[in-house]
Amino acid sequence: MTYTILHNPNCSTSRKGLEMLKEAGVEPDVRKYMNVSEQLSVDELKDIAKKMGGVSPRVFMRAKDAPAAGIDADSSDEAIFEAMAANPKLIQRPIGIKGKKAVLGRPPEDLLKLV
């Protein structure tokens, strides 16, 4: 089963998570979701939330970047998914995906839960 990591090479936590996976013998598919050609759609983001156990997108949203994107405490999950798809900077990273499970790599060691 393929392990995919949503990765931002400019993020030290994301780099550490990818390195940890490789040290554990995992060669994941790397999706650089910040690149225009690899951005996530609303449906993909909803699927990630489902794979995380049906969580709100707030669980994997970068809260410090939310106000600049017009996201506040009253924003609906749908509005957050749409904002994340339009502005991938809002997506917390890294995220590991394997089969029907996904996990936020905060701390990066959590990525190993899917190994």
11 carries an active-site annotation: yes
Burial class (CB in 10 A: 0-12, 13-18, 19+), 54: exposed
- Pick the catalytic residue from 4, 11, 15, 16: 11
Cis peptide, bond prior to residue 107, ω within 30 of zero = yes
**Torsion angle, CA of 71/75/80/82, rounded to 10 degrees?**
-100
Catalytic sites, residue numbers: 11
